Amino acid sequence: MDMYSSEMLPDGKRFFVLSCHVLWRELCYYASLAPYPCQFQFLKQGLHNEPDKLRREVQQAIDEIGDEYSAILLGYGLCSNGLVGIKARNTRIVVMRGHDCITFLLGSKERYREYFDSHPGTYWYSPGWIDTNTQPGKERQERALKHYVETYGEENAEFLMKATETWMDTYSNATYVDLGFGDTAAYRAFTKESAEYLGWNYDLIEGDPKLLIDFVSGNWDDERFLVVEPGQEIVASHDERTIVAVKKSLE
């Protein structure tokens, strides 16, 4: 009898979690507490910057997953429409409703909107994002400056730094989402130090794991989750639902 024999599982269910690597800590932690076993595959962070590439790689990964799972849990938000066109083949796909992963850490798209509206110019920090070494801060700035100096020389480096970092002028707030497990003190300190270095405000907000817990536990109500049945694909709804599933040709 293999480790996933249905004789060993509650209700015979098992899930395959396919997600952006930025959520690996949270998904692994809460899945370890959930009633059903999960198999994991994490794709590299940053695919949301190229939505067409994200769509191709996610669909390819879905198509390579076997039929023995009860559901494929997709750990992505709409992600710049990167999920639009994703198709369920032989296994249902479950997605949390939201535009990006911060929604999942805060517990709901409504809470995300409330904070966004009251704290314009917020740049979000979380364990997964900090682990990628891409968050704005001293380390990132020094790494970029070194690259420009080595590649283009000292005379051009300062100009390039100013030209490529102008997008940060639209931000004024560094907010860490704390779900209360792992080395949260180190992550909070990193966010605070980054805010001080950049001249931004620092904020700490308590995360809400309920959405993630229900995601990996199979508690999928229609308000918070989209269930894509075989033969359907994901499309943007352009309303409060964020995404919906429609019947499409699987050619």
Domain ranges of the chain: 6-99+209-247, 109-206
Q: Where are the alpha helices (DSSP H) in 16-153?
A: 24-33, 51-64, 101-106, 109-118, 127-131, 138-152
Q: Please say whether the beta carbons of 77 and 34 come within 8 A.
A: no
- Residue of 228, 216, 227 whose CA lies nearest to 24: 216
Give the span between the Cα atoms of 159 and 15, in whole angstroms: 50
Coil/strand/helix, residue 120: coil
CA separation for the pair 186, 182 (Å, rounded): 9
Q: Long-range pairs for 158-162 at CB < 8 Å and ≥24 separation?
A: none
Specify the pLDDT at position 170: 92
Please tell me the distance from the alpha carbon of residue 55 to that of residue 43, in angstroms, as a whole number: 12
Provide the residue-wise pLDDT of the chain in tens; the chain has 251 residues.
344 444 445 577 899 999 999 999 999 999 999 999 999 999 998 888 899 999 999 999 999 998 999 999 999 999 989 999 999 999 999 999 999 999 999 999 999 999 999 999 999 999 999 998 778 888 888 888 788 888 888 878 788 877 877 888 899 999 999 999 889 999 999 999 999 999 999 999 999 999 999 999 999 999 999 999 999 999 999 898 999 999 875 44
Q: Which residues contact 180 (CB under 8 A, 6 or more apart)?
A: 206, 207
Using alpha carbons, select from 25, 53, 84, 34 the residue that is nearest to residue 242: 84
Ordered DSSP codes for 171-239: --EEEEEE-S-SSHHHHHHHHHHHHHHHT-EEEEEE--THHHHHHHHT---TTTEEEE-TTEEEEE-SS
pLDDT of residue 6: 44
Tokens 């535009």, residue? Answer: 99
- Residue 4 is predicted with a pLDDT of 44
pTM: 0.88
Report the distance separating Cα 87 and Cα 109, nearest Å. 23
**pLDDT score recorded for residue 235:** 94
